[in-house]
Amino acid sequence: MSQQDWPSAPGLPQKQGLYDPANERDNCGLGFIADIKNRKSHDIVRDGLQILINLDHRGAIGADPLAGDGAGILLQVPDRLFQEECPKLGFDLPPAGDYAVGMVFLPTNKKTLDKCIVAFDKVVPEEGQSIIGWRDVPVDNSYLGESVKPIEPVIRQIFIAKGKGFEDTDAFERKLFVIRKRVHHELWDHDIEDKKQFYITSLSTRTITYKGMMLAPNVDNYFLDLRDERTESALALVHQRFSTNTFPSWPLAQPFRYLCHNGEINTVRGNINWMAARRHNMKSDILGDDLEKLWPLIGDGSSDSATFDNALELLVAGGYSLAHAMMMMIPEAWSGNPLMDDDRRAFYEYHAALMEPWDGPASMAFTDGRQIGATLDRNGLRPSRYIVTDDDKVILGSEVGVLPIPESKIVKKWRLQPGKMLLIDLEEGRIVDDEELKATLATTKPYQKWLDETQIKLEELPMEVSAMTPDKKTILDRQQAFGYTQEDIKFYLEPMAIHGIDPLGSMGSDIPPTVLSDRPKNLYGYFKQNFAQVTNPPIDPIREESVMSLVSLIGPRPNLLDLNTGGTHKRLEVSQPILSNVDLEKIRRIENKVGHAFQTYTLDICYGATDGPDGMKGALDALCEKAQLVVTEGHNILILSDRGVNADRVAIPALLATAAVHHHLIREGLRTEVGLVVETGEARQVHDFCLLAGYGAEAISPYLAFETLSQLHHNLPGEMSERQAHNNYVKSVSKGILKVMSKMGIST
């Protein structure tokens, strides 16, 4: 089953027209209460529900007054409740920690429901565990809206006993993760009616999630367990969903298995693609052969928050602590922070090669049942405030006043700061300060030593190469071949070379959309810049430069789940993705300068003009096959080049070639083994570079733009040198990329 085969969640339309369920986003309210000393009580549950009610205004209500976008609560497993209720159903439970409980949404169709049960019956014993029994979750659906009742699932709890050889609870948790993924895949591999109604909300020895498409005040009215005094927990994590420009559904209500989220992950499509690309080079000493059973890890149709939760699950199962994984996925601004200590900077710099940031405005609250915490994105674009009381309670919410606490009982009140983390360790019975937490994690491994052994900065390599000599006699022919116009040169390239900024114009664009134009256009013109609809306030790439970064890493990606070594792959770092001609030649001839750590191969993306337009598909196929071959032969940097264009050879559009090679290598499991650099005469505008980077290029060399500026520099004002004109152009493109990123609500 491929990742693209996953249907959308129940309640969501299928992909159609301009709508794609992969673009699901939400913007919500969240909160938690925790007893620092891990004292379980029903009062914590009750207070958690009150927080949820007080966040009701952060949710959405449609024309149906009882239909909400989703609300829920995550608790520690209420062992007392289950120990007393399960004997009434004919089975007894082992002690807490020796069994797991899963909250399962099942289809209402009896035939499909039975197939779901059979899937559990098959998978659980195969994974060395045993099913103790099932329990129907008591609900009162009179509190559901009429529009919600038709898609209300059957909700049951499954109890699974820990098998022999699983004395470690963490090992049992990992096996439960495998069981959940395998059961899901078992159903999706078959053509089963209404299977998209099936969803495992949680499956754990430690936590359980009650959630659904109801209003916040009705969560405990619907789930009767939550009103039972025997439902006890030392923590309660709650979430009220507002699905902004998307559709609500039962599975996409929050909390998820580890977290709840207020904000928007604007890099989610790239994050999903890179997680899929890592599949074939990922190995884990902890998960072993079970790792392969987890794929596909992320299904299309999930929201950005659900996708984040899936990736977080993998990291935790692979051996990272919860806080460590969160720091990898949402790193604080480190590259431009002069006040950060060296150990912490090395930590973030090392992990930058392991995983790209999940970037965008985010307030994340997370728990594994033993620790509970929250963090903000590096810009602090979503609010979170917390208080600590004199009876050792911590209360956090998207705003102040989520619980009516007398001022006399409050010993501390503060807010989460950009990139900072609040963590309560219930097993140790204390709040772990951000500084202590990160200092501890940053010094557990020799990250600076690993960086010194693997990091190579392009700017530090010797300048023993010269750029290719341009053919001045053919520059006009090549400009025409790549669609250059006088407007491109006069109103775009010249101002960039003179002023070093992306040129501005007024009155908008008066040309027809590319798709409707009767004139030949570059492929870039068929794409339009996206923007983050609910990222507010916008990021300022000038005044907030310290949180922005254009650093790019070229070459093989290390094993994400290798926790104990620095890896064997070298990392080639460039400060920004636009390469000068000299920089490109450094990469082209890098092999002997770095002890053969990198081997570069240049792929010609041109084909015979006599083959005509129909020849492009064959040329693309041949290009992808050649790329696959040279990677398997050991080359780990590919340069896609259209320098070979002439009267007899036509260039495949660089964007098309880049995307084709990028995704072909992903499908073949080779993308993480190689870096992708593009040498093209096409790219000249900021939009072009953003598209190439978005479709897989790690660096781009716009050689024809540089040649054009070299031809023009004598006509530029003052005594501007050719080199200064080139530098100003690179500077302006970099600024333009940052501006586009800021509109997208991302920083790296």
pLDDT in tens, 610-635: 998 899 999 999 999 999 999 999 99
Q: Please indicate, yes or no, if residue 742 is contained in any of the structural domains.
A: no
726 by DSSP, 3-state: which? helix
Provide the residue type at 470 as one letter. P
Residue 404 and residue 479 in one domain: no
Q: Please indicate, yes or no, if residue 659 is contained in any of the structural domains.
A: yes
197 vs 199: CA distance, rounded Å:
6
Q: Please indicate, yes or no, if residue 220 is contained in any of the structural domains.
A: yes
Residue 144 and residue 84 in one domain: yes
581 vs 575: CA distance, rounded Å:
15
Q: Please indicate, yes or no, if residue 543 is contained in any of the structural domains.
A: no
The closest of 687, 713, 694 to 270, measured between CA atoms, is 694
- Predicted pLDDT of residue 2: 44
User: What stretch of H or E contains 136?
Assistant: strand 130-136
Burial of 646 by CB count in 10 Å (0-12 exposed, 13-18 middle, 19+ buried)? middle
Residue 262 and residue 411 in one domain: yes
Got the DSSP string for 137-206?
Answer: PPB-GGGS-TTTGGGPPEEEEEEEEPPTT--SHHHHHHHHHHHHHHHHHHHHTS--TTGGG-EEEEEESS
- Predicted pLDDT of residue 4: 40
Q: Which domain holds residue 663?
A: 457-501+549-732
Tokens 């006399």, residue located:
408
pLDDT for residue 667 is more than 70:
yes
Residue 476 and residue 606 in one domain: yes
Chain segment 222-237, per-residue pLDDT in tens = 999 999 999 999 999 9
Q: What is the mean pLDDT of residues 541-550?
A: 79
pLDDT for residue 683 is more than 90:
yes
Q: Please indicate, yes or no, if residue 110 is contained in any of the structural domains.
A: yes
Provide the residue type at 744 as one letter. M
User: CATH number of the domain that 473 lies in?
Assistant: 3.20.20.70
* Number of domains observed in the structure of the chain: 2
Residue 346 and residue 464 in one domain: no
654-667 and 686-694 helices, crossing angle to 10°: 10
Tokens 């501006």, residue located:
739
Residue 428 and residue 576 in one domain: no
- Judge contact between 107 and 154, C-beta under 8 A: yes
Can you state the percent helix, strand and coil of the chain, rounding each to 5? 40, 20, 40
Q: Please indicate, yes or no, if residue 368 is contained in any of the structural domains.
A: yes
Residue 311 and residue 197 in one domain: yes
Q: Show which residues are catalytic.
A: 28
pLDDT for residue 6 is more than 50:
no
295 vs 328: CA distance, rounded Å:
21
End-to-end CA, the chain: 32
Q: What is the mean pLDDT of residues 275-290?
A: 92
559 vs 569: CA distance, rounded Å:
9
- Predicted pLDDT of residue 7: 44
- pTM, full prediction: 0.91
pLDDT for residue 1 is more than 60:
no
Residue 467 and residue 378 in one domain: no
The closest of 389, 416, 411, 384 to 400, measured between CA atoms, is 384
Residue 428 and residue 305 in one domain: yes
Q: Mean pLDDT, the chain, as a whole number?
A: 89
100 vs 205: CA distance, rounded Å:
4
Chain segment 590-617, per-residue pLDDT in tens = 988 888 889 999 999 999 999 988 999 9
**CA dihedral (664, 669, 670, 676) positive or negative:** positive
**Chain mean position to CA 206:** 25
Residue 425 and residue 462 in one domain: no
- Any bridge partners for residue 578, and if so which? 700
Q: Please indicate, yes or no, if residue 154 is contained in any of the structural domains.
A: yes
**Chain mean position to CA 721:** 43
Residue 312 and residue 357 in one domain: yes
User: CATH number of the domain that 136 lies in?
Assistant: 3.60.20.10
Q: Please indicate, yes or no, if residue 533 is contained in any of the structural domains.
A: no
Q: Is the peptide bond before 248 cis (omega within 30 degrees of 0)?
A: no
Residue 486 and residue 436 in one domain: no
371 vs 86: CA distance, rounded Å:
28
- Predicted pLDDT of residue 530: 74
pLDDT for residue 474 is more than 90:
no
- Predicted pLDDT of residue 144: 92
pLDDT for residue 303 is more than 90:
no
Tokens 């049942």, residue located:
369
